[in-house]
């Protein structure tokens, strides 16, 4: 069984460019979560999506960041006009059912974003 697949694994962008991070959830999972991790820190929740809907985006900055999970295809985390402070590891997780339904989240191996 394929796990959560994220690509690219590493992404380098210059300040002002756009970064697109992709996540394909585990087979049969329709709930996707994005997290951000800075070095030596834990993961911080950004956004929770269920097919075509954003359920909770309380952890995502209001500007420059957006997320989608279309009916077909992977979930996309998009960062516009990147700045140095966006450098981090971005992790995607998926679950079969939503939070609070005894469905633990399974994580991908992340995208390491570096801003020059």
Task: Show Cβ contacts of residue 100 under 8 Å, excluding neighbours closer than 6 positions.
Answer: none
What is d(CA 98, CA 86) in angstroms, rounded to the nearest whole number? 28
Residues 11-70 that bind another protein (CB under 8 A): 33, 35, 40-45, 48, 56, 58-59
- 105 is an interface residue for another protein by CB under 8 A: yes
Structure tokens at 108: 């991908």
- 85 is an interface residue for another protein by CB under 8 A: no
10-13/111-115 β-pairing = parallel
Residue 6, φ and ψ in degrees, nearest 5: -120, 140
Considering beta carbons, is residue 16 or 99 the nearer one to another protein? 99
Q: Which stretch binds another protein (CB under 8 A): 14-22, 66-74, 78-86, 106-114?
A: 106-114
Q: Using CB under 8 A, list all residues that contact another protein.
A: 4, 6, 33, 35, 40-45, 48, 56, 58-59, 91, 98-102, 104-110
């Amino acid at each position: 069984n394929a796990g959560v697949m994220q690509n690219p694994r590493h992404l380098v962008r210059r300040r002002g460019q756009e970064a697109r991070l992709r996540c394909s959830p585990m087979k049969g999972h329709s709930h996707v979560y994005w997290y951000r991790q800075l070095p030596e820190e834990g993961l911080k929740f950004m956004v929770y999506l269920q097919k075509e809907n954003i359920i909770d985006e309380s952890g995502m900055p209001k500007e420059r960041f957006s997320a989608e999970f279309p009916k077909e295809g992977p979930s996309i985390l998009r960062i516009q006009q990147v700045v140095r402070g966006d450098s981090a590891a971005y992790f995607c997780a998926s679950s079969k059912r939503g939070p609070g339904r005894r469905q633990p989240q399974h994580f991908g191996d992340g995208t390491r974003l570096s801003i020059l």
